[in-house]
Chain A
Amino acid sequence: MTILAFLFVLKIWTVPETVVLDGARAGQQFLAMAEYADGTQGDVTGEVVWSVSNGALATISGGGRVAALGDGAVTVVAELGGVKGRSTVRMMGVKEERPFAFGRDIGSILTKRGCNGSACHGGVKGRGGLKLSANGLHPADDFEWITKGGTYQVLTAEVAGERVPRIDVRDPEKSLLLQKPLGLVAHGGGKRLEGDSEDYRTILAWVKRGAPYGKDGETARLAGLEIYPAMATMGVAGSQRLLVTGRYTDGRREDFTNQVLFSSNNGEVATVTPEGMVKGKALGETAILIRAAGQVASVGVGVIGVPVKNYPVVGRGNFVDEAVFAKLKRFNLVPSELAGDGEFLRRVCLDLTGTLPPPERVREFVGSKDAKKRERVVDALIGSPEFVDFWTFRFADVFRVAIFANGLTPKFSQKYWEWIRENVAGNRRYDEVARERLSAQGYGAASRHFLPYNQIGPPADVMAEEVRVFFGRRLDCAQCHNHPYENWSQDQFWGMAAFFGRLFKAGPVVFDHPTNMDWSSKDVDGKIELVHPRTKVVVKPVLLDASPLVVRGDGNPRQELARWMTSHPYFAEATVNRVWGYFFGRGIVDPVDDFRSTNPATHPELLAGLARDFERNGYNLQRLMKTIVMSRTYQLAHETNGTNRADVTNYSHSLSRALEAEVMLDAVVAVTGVAETFTTAVSEGGAVGQAPAHTRAINLKDPDMYFSRFLELYGRPNRGAIPERSGKPSLGQALHMLAGATYVDRLSASGSRLRGLLERGATDAVIFEEFYLAALGRGPDAEETAELGKLVAGRGDREAGLREFVWALISSREFVENH
């Protein structure tokens, strides 16, 4: 902030507003924030004058750090140009040394110094013979490795090598734990500690005391980190100090700012100092990751351009816009205008139904003066037969309807597909759908996905997929070792996998094998148990949050899991994020199923608001979709303005999205008027089959049965895993556009739209308009009509010219994208 800005400071406030300092050496970093006359805000922690009301009870540094001296209360004041902000600090137990705890007192140093990062000793196998848990997630394990030594092994809990402690209680200064980070002994991680630092003294004192483990487990543990501000914005060269507060399971809060490791996800946009000072480097958005012992958090940082003069007042459609537009204003981005009727209609039809609006509907809609026509058309589309087709297709993707994935028979995969369709058509509560899928037993459709290649899938794979689909999280990394970037441990992973560890099949029937009955297992020396791959201990089902659980030996443990998952906040936020991603081409957390603390939401309040609304309204997907498409955010134009051209994450304008392969093929069919023939590559019996005439690509029940060059080229996933459609163009696509049957053969086929128009004697202008409306949802402008007229006339052969026009139209970027 420039010095001139002081002249325009309207308000100063200090953070935190109130705080309790508990115990000896307790302290608190304060921030001072200013609001300026132009509506912007900034960090003035370094510019204000700090003071405390009673210097006998507490001191405050020039940087705003308070240290307690005695029990009582003081007021902290920050002053800038006569404007003041105040906070209250209450001190207690200042003379009481808090009990030592290895995880908190040593683990936090190892975290802050980067020792237990995933690239160092916190990696899968550790580094240089020393293994630490990532971010100090397992302090007891870390204590063992440090005080007893030995080499960690990934596949077994047995210790390899000679056990040489990393500390020396007889000669503490000679401890490897100190010598290596000091650089006195060769250390691959370089110098990590200074000999005169507080951290060095803390570790040395601990070793001198005989290296006790302390009170971990007996006292409250760190439950999470809160960062202030939740989202930081600054100009290029601007800065913002971050304040990190640790929240304990007993409700206590503690300043963690100087006990964490800060790092930037994109140092070209913003950097961060070890003290938590974020500095803007270039326009853009990134996240700062904060690692504390056993916890990881992140905060979004926006490096924004110059303030917009006379920022326009932008109307709101619903609560979606509040969160989106507030951030846009903060980022000095002006949202685009509302999309025109034609643009909106094409977009909403494709997004809700995967279907292009027919020309007569475009004319009708654009010509209508009804003020509520957008809502009316949304109501007509949601729940329509085409909507049911399309969302069955989309959920068939996520839920992986495929022959090989559903018991190796089209009977099973189609049964499963029909179940999805029935749920979509009936707008069944999504939590019920999830519960049924998660806990399905027997022969019912919802159980068919448990039968890849007609075998029960490995519990680890099955669990990881369910968590990804319904929680939007990827636990897979924790299958073989503690998750390197997240707080998921290998034990948690296998505890969750154990819910699927009793899944069994008898013929086509899926069931959970009882644990309290043998059912002839002894005949083949078999056992129904899931063994932890590293510890070799039989694993019991444990929920991710370790909440209490009662599972009967002859019950279905997945019932409990399903109940827990669908009532967990992750479920709603993952669902709304996935659905949001369909409408905007990216999730609020993106990829949509990669929620993690190191991949923060771009709009946390929006995500929370949508999730809350979804949950309160009975997990109603149709309602969620209507909320999204009726927002102004969704209805913004594709065309950008001077402020938002580069924006791809803040929804300031509509982003172009490639049509999915199936939607695009259906669109080509709709525009040309010539149906596609889908022939089975596999059939139920010996004979090769064919989908009924006029079957749309999105309606193929088990697409892996139907070969299609077009669909392969345009990225139809095989559903071998949860599909991730990229929509990236390829050379194969270009060649297919030039010579492929989908494009070439259709143009002159009998019964085509073009032939019909020609047979009816339509003029070129009528043909141009009809095709433009069918393909692009708009008519050609005068210039386009004139150019097209010249093109056709210049070809000599009118029909050939018109065919080329149609080819060019369906090959155009405007056609192959939704925008």
Chain B
Amino acid sequence: MRWLILIFLFDFCLLGADPRAISVQPFVGQRGMTFTATVRGSNLKGARAVVVDGEGVRMVVEGEGKESSPARDTVKIRVETGAETKAGRYSFRMVTASGVSNSLVLGIAESVVLAEPEGLHETAETAVAVVGAPVIYAGLIGKKGETDLYSFQAKAGETLTFQVRSGLPSLGAAGGNANGFDPAISIFEESGSWFDAKRLNRVAFNDEPLWVLGRLTDAYLVHTFAKAGRYFLRLEAFSGQGGPDYGYQLQILPGTVEQEREAGRTDWEERTYQRPLTANRLNELAARGGRAEKEKVIETYRAMGTVGFPATIEGTIGRPGESQRSTFQVDGPQDIAIEVETPDGAPPVFNPVVRLLDGAGAEVVTNVFAGRGACTGAMNKGLTAKVIYPLRNPGQYTVEVRDLTADLGEAGFRYRVQVRPQVGHVGKVSIDEDHLNLAPGGAKTVRVKFDREEDFRGAVAVMVENLPEGVVALAAADYEPDTDPPPFLGKRERYVARTERTVIAFSVAEGAGLTEVPQLVRVLLRPVVDGRPGKVIASKQIPMMVVAQP
């Protein structure tokens, strides 16, 4: 217990001194240009270098900037790009006296990037005149309630795409409230009114099309102008927030351009609706279970017929109230998994309800996870992208797919349902540290969490590579408070994986030398089954520095 308390206090001390980069402004620049950006955060004093992930972009610390808030530091950095630098998003970290910071992202664009001129741009008279499209403006909503107005000419019938990326990325969160800067845009025309000949009237707006858990709230709007004339784009923070970290990138593009999405995740996603359910999924899962990849390919069938087992069933709920049924045969007891992929639109847009019915038409299992509220005991339900079930009776079964609602259905309600045997494997893995700054003689823990899917009973080995000299990684355990089992969740085991965790303690020798630059430590996970380690199934690089204790 004493040891644990000491670790806690030590962690707390380090936490207080850990460099934290909050924003960089501007966070987009033009390829081939050199420009100055300001990084804002805390504990950035003594910044001496910037580590950039990627080639072709160099960032150099120019000095500290002015900062009105005593809790914040600002650092000026010079960003140098070459004519050959690839357009894209570059993550970087500040190297300070206190160690390495978290990463921020700076974009390099091919098109013209202009800075929002100084001053307020809230009226037609003070609006920023757009030079043409394509163009990117790097701007800032510097204070609460501020709006930035951009004026531009459009021809009759012309289509333009407007896209705003936030400098403080904001994700849809449970309860509907997210932190960060959620940009909103509207287009106005100067059509006036009986009351005010100069009134700007809104002709289009968008915040983001949907408020989806985990999705970025950046703004995107495509508009075709009915008539030629001068228009204004108004940019603001949803709910009117603003401040020195509220930077944005406004991109104006001719024509209709798909919204630029955040880069797809490279780590394994087990239960999201848009993970691809490939024909080789049994082997993918086998590999994650530390077993040989000798499973057969899963065949794909059109919905509403007889399918094999295993099978991938493809269909579309094209009409309101439509339900589609496909049947398959199971010849003996079989633990099965049913997974759902919605390639064009996940919940809440398309909400696929998948039911497995027995030969008599009775419901066996569904992807509807029913529970009861802890407060009122009222029944609640949610959809899941995967359900497992032990089928004990051989025979014919039916997979039925429909939308949760009776009134919705369209071509975009496309689904792929995979019905297959269960394959024990390691599911989602998360390693909870982004970077590590350690002092000589100190130690710090990192938690590694992983899901046991489909009754995976093997071991999981965690390895650490490329440690700085004087640093060792040790298997550890930390205190985890007891939690009562959730009493109100019905058949939880069918819908939720069993999560476990392990802990790595990084310990630094008293006499270890300090590091000048971050060293990328690799954490690797491998399943161990039947005494054999499997392939690496997850890895993460963590920048680590050994620094003098502040």
Contact = CB atoms under 8 A, between A and B. Distances in A.
Interface stretch (A166-174, A222-230, A682-690, A730-738): A682-690
Contact of B348 (A377, A409, A508, A520): A508
Interface in B363-385: 363, 365-366, 368-372, 379-383
A548 interface: no
Nearest to B245: A687
A294 interface: no
Contacts of A195: none
B366 A408 contact: no
Contacts of B323: 554
B243 interface: yes
B472 to A, nearest CB: 39
A14 interface: no
Interface in A401-445: 407-412, 414-415, 418, 439, 441-443
B178 A412 contact: no
Contact of A506 (B179, B199, B213, B382): B382
A407 B243 contact: no
13 contacts: A361-B194, A385-B199, A441-B408, A442-B408, A507-B213, A509-B404, A523-B490, A523-B491, A559-B407, A688-B241, A690-B240, A692-B234, A693-B147
Nearest to A557: B406
Nearest to B177: A684
A761 B370 CA distance: 74
Given A384-B193, A509-B351, A692-B240, 12 more contacts: A384-B194, A409-B177, A443-B348, A511-B406, A513-B381, A556-B405, A679-B145, A683-B240, A685-B241, A689-B239, A689-B240, A689-B241
Contacts of A353: 195
B170 A692 contact: no
A506 B346 CA distance: 13
Interface in B454-475: none
A408 B175 CA distance: 7
A688 B382 CA distance: 32
A673 to B, nearest CB: 13
Interface string A364-390: 000000000000010011001110000
B171 to A, nearest CB: 11
> Which A-B residue pairs are the 10 nearest by beta carbons?
A409-B176, A690-B145, A689-B240, A523-B490, A526-B379, A690-B144, A520-B370, A443-B348, A684-B239, A441-B405
B195 A357 contact: yes
Nearest to A418: B205
A519 B406 CA distance: 14
B365 to A, nearest CB: 8
A358 interface: yes
Contact of A381 (B180, B194, B355, B405): B194
Contacts of B193: 384-386
Nearest to A691: B240
Given A442-B405, A506-B404, A511-B404, A517 B355 contact: yes
Interface string A510-521: 111110011111
Contacts of A233: none
Contact of A689 (B145, B196, B491): B145
Interface in B183-203: 191, 193-196, 199, 201
Nearest to B365: A520
A284 B404 CA distance: 58
A687 B349 contact: no
A682 B210 CA distance: 21
A552 B320 CA distance: 13
Most A Cβ at <10 Å: residue of B348, B366, B407: B407
B173 to A, nearest CB: 9
Contacts of B238: 410-411, 684
Interface in A678-728: 679-680, 683-693, 705
B122 interface: yes
A790 B528 CA distance: 98
A598 interface: no
A526 B178 contact: no
B240 A524 contact: no
Contacts of B390: none
Contact of B379 (A357, A361, A521, A687): A521
Interface of B: 122, 144-147, 170, 172, 175-180, 182, 191, 193-196, 199, 201, 205, 207, 210-211, 213, 234, 236-243, 321, 323, 347-349, 351, 353, 355, 363, 365-366, 368-372, 379-383, 402, 404-408, 488, 490-491
A384 B211 CA distance: 31
Given A511-B404, A554-B406, A689-B145, A520 B241 contact: no
Contacts of A384: 193-195
A531 to B, nearest CB: 14
B407 A407 contact: no
Contact of B407 (A349, A442, A521): A442
A506 B242 CA distance: 33
A794 to B, nearest CB: 36
Given A385-B201, A508-B348, A554-B321, A358 B363 contact: no
A555 interface: yes
A441 B406 contact: yes
Nearest to A513: B381
B371 A524 contact: yes
B145 A519 contact: no
A742 interface: no
Given A511-B405, A689-B240, A443 B349 contact: yes
A412 B207 CA distance: 12
Contacts of B371: 524
A689 B237 contact: yes
Nearest to A554: B406
A357 B195 CA distance: 7
A454 interface: yes
B111 to A, nearest CB: 28
B211 A411 contact: yes
Interface string A649-685: 0000000000000000000000000000101100111
Most A Cβ at <10 Å: residue of B145, B366, B402: B145
B381 A504 contact: yes
A644 interface: no
A685 B146 CA distance: 16
B239 A508 contact: no
Contacts of A439: 407
A518 B321 contact: no
A534 B380 CA distance: 25
B237 A409 contact: no
A355 interface: yes
B488 to A, nearest CB: 8
B407 A441 contact: yes
Nearest to A694: B122
B122 A692 contact: yes
A494 to B, nearest CB: 19
Most B Cβ at <10 Å: residue of A353, A680, A684: A684
A692 B236 CA distance: 8
Contacts of B243: 687
Contacts of B353: 519
B178 A685 contact: yes
Nearest to B168: A685
Given A357-B195, A411-B211, A684-B178, A509 B240 contact: no
A409 B363 contact: no
Most A Cβ at <10 Å: residue of B213, B234, B237: B237
Given A506-B382, A692-B147, A386 B195 contact: yes
A409 B194 contact: no
Contacts of B348: 442-443, 507-509
A683 B178 CA distance: 10
Contacts of A680: 239-240
Interface string A279-299: 000000000000000000000
A356 B236 CA distance: 28
A384 B402 CA distance: 44
Nearest to A512: B406
Contacts of B182: 684-685
B404 A410 contact: no
